[in-house]
Structure 1
């Protein structure tokens, strides 16, 4: 399957897209950290106000015409040239097929080249092994583990912090 990313537009906020952001099956627990769902209105607001918050949303496409998820770059700290990057494979039929790492790799390039980001970071539940592996396959590394960061069902869960550096700013050797 060919994977690509393209800027998300308001016309992309279809019923299917909105369904990806409903947490009826617990899938978003791994995406949001606070286990919430998002309404159509909230999703539209994100897109409409994204640029003023230095946040940019991309649709993950398979075979150039099947939307399967989203990538969020931002908010970008323009002073420090750093940004979060979050990936969601929303269409559950495409989860576990290796698409996230390929989309993250493309998003790394966009963040570094288009937005001049020096450093990307993200974090996830320690038990979200698939996400940790997807980021690491996309050139990221585990930077830290924050003990007991999340509180889920009455128990602490560690946060695995991952990062990726723009090679134009971080020379090896």
Structure 2
């Protein structure tokens, strides 16, 4: 079993029996889900189990638990995928679901562990993602985890009848991208986000 450990957290593939009622409550919490899914689709235990099993079977989506080292407690989830096997790119989404662990900088650590997982275990060349421009905490967490802002999609989301931009972020595996290539992206960040 793959387990990657950081300073305060570790990640490992989540077990189906860990999807308890308290964990599933994260996926029906309006505050936690405000930015988590673009489709606003309801995530049930059955749909989550089906997605985990299908992703694993197809080898393109992998769901990991985020655990507090000290308490050996599941505090969130990390989803790698869908993985594009031709280009070796993937999305990486994290969720700290346990409120007692929010606001402590742990999301950035979880994302760093996800970067390590993607690059060293799955040989992903590039990770990508996008978030609501108003989701400042998430943007900052990804930036602290070594991601860079690559662009902005004007009015991508419609929130309460108003347009909201999508901030595009990426993380580059140094095995496949030179420091010069990465620095060029870093130097353009301010064009897309203040």
Q: TM-score range by the shorter chain?
A: over 0.9
User: Are the aligned partners of 1:28 and 1:36 in contact in 2 as well (CA < 8 Å)?
Assistant: no
Q: Give 1:34 deviation, angstroms.
A: 3.0
Counterpart position of 2:190: none
Greater CA deviation, 120-129 or 45-54?
45-54
Counterpart position of 1:125: 132
Q: Does 2:145 correspond to 1:156?
A: no
User: Structure 1 or 2: larger helix share?
Assistant: 2
- Give the Cα separation in 2 of the matches to 1:33 and 1:92: 22
Counterpart position of 2:192: none
Counterpart position of 1:59: 65
Give the gaps of 5 or more residues in structure 2.
Answer: 1-6, 181-194
Secondary structure at 2:28's aligned position in 1? coil
Q: How many residues align?
A: 172
Q: 2:142 aligns with which of 121, 135, 138?
A: 135
Question: After TM superposition, what 4+ stretches of structure 1 lie above 6 angstroms from structure 2?
Answer: none
Give the gaps of 5 or more residues in structure 1.
Answer: none
Secondary structure at 1:16's aligned position in 2? helix
- Give the Cα separation in 1 of the matches to 2:144 and 2:59: 29
Alignment of 1:18-97 (within 5 A): 18-23=24-29, 25-51=30-56, 52=58, 54-63=60-69, 65-97=72-104
Q: Give 1:92 deviation, angstroms.
A: 2.0
Secondary structure at 1:80's aligned position in 2? coil
Q: Which has the higher contact order (CA 8 A, sep 6+)?
A: 1
TM-score (normalised: structure 1): 0.95
- Give the Cα separation in 2 of the matches to 1:40 and 1:49: 14
TM-score (normalised: structure 2): 0.85
